[in-house]
Amino acid sequence: MRPSGSARVAGVAGWPVGHSLSPRLMASWIEAAGIDALYAPFAIAPDDARHALEALASTSLCGLNITLPHKETALKIADEVSEEAKAIGAANLLTFHDGRISADNTDALGFMQALADKEVQLDNRPVVVLGAGGAARAIVFALSKAGVSEIKIANRTRSRALDLSRALEIEAVIVDWDQRDDALADAQLVVNTTSLGLKGAANLDIDWNRAPANCVAADIVYTPLQTEFLKRAAQNGLVCVDGLGMLIGQARPSFEAFYGVEAPKTGQERALLEAILGPAP
């Protein structure tokens, strides 16, 4: 259906925003659900983010997904903040109603959904998180909420790992970056949340031979989809969860928040996004 004058309109705001996969993904769900709706990209320059977001909130838009670098600003301008967004310190979802702005964060949910899609069941063995930036905070929050009893965080800048654990009020084990391989011995899951492996960046060097055979490897990077980190894990026979799972997983609750209906399970999400991303290098 083509959108009418009373279509529900939502979008994604970021800088840059041209690379965002959300417009295509959301459009495919809008089409499959057959609803009168639209989802558009909004490029918002960093200097102007606060004003621009507040102005958009005062229109008929029903909400926005928020991507880099506006996730903290989005949190600051909100009238109501969910427990997740507050703990993670960033919002990837704003909804607008009656002149009020509500902030939420669906990244943690997205990560858990990506694990569930691969039938990964967490037990009481340690999880190793590599990195301590914004993405790590969402993932560590998700893992601690899921009841993981031991979370080990290895970050190049050790103090940031400590800050993250304090901010979430959890007792994570802080591992020196150079000792990260030592942390793999009894790990059930190892998650890369650093930007290493991203197209154009250096690869994340890790010795998968040190990890147990039933360990799971997860990467938040999805350009390329098969990072060296995952490629080597797969060569060692490990189950791999790539960055697209989290991307699709965080988008579903946003769709429902904007349009009031569940995102249809088309089964085509992965194929659609893989076609946009292109073949692995």
**Residues of this chain that bind ligand ATR (CB under 6 A):** 131-136, 155-157, 160, 193-196, 202
Minimal distance in Å, beta carbon 134 to ligand ATR? Answer: 3
Q: Which residues contact 3 (CB under 8 A, 6 or more apart)?
A: 9, 36, 37, 38
Distance (Å, rounded) from C-alpha 13 to C-alpha 56?
10
Sheet holding 37-43, edge to edge: 37-43, 8-14, 63-66, 93-97, 100-104, 80-81
Minimal distance in Å, beta carbon 204 to ligand ATR? Answer: 8
Nearer to ligand ATR, 125 or 156 (CB): 156
Report the residue closest to ligand ATR, judged by CB: 133
Minimal distance in Å, beta carbon 263 to ligand ATR? Answer: 24
Q: Which residues contact 159 (CB under 8 A, 6 or more apart)?
A: none
Determine the Cα angle at 159 with ends 110 and 83, to 5°.
35
Nearer to ligand ATR, 134 or 264 (CB): 134
Placement of tokens 């993405």 in the chain? 135
Catalytic residue among 71, 76, 145, 265: 71
Structure tokens at 225: 């989809």
Minimal distance in Å, beta carbon 139 to ligand ATR? Answer: 9
265 is catalytic: no
The full length of the chain comes to 281
Instruction: Tell me the pairing of strands 189-192 and 216-219.
Output: parallel
Nearer to ligand ATR, 27 or 177 (CB): 177
Nearer to ligand ATR, 50 or 160 (CB): 160
Residues with catalytic roles: 71
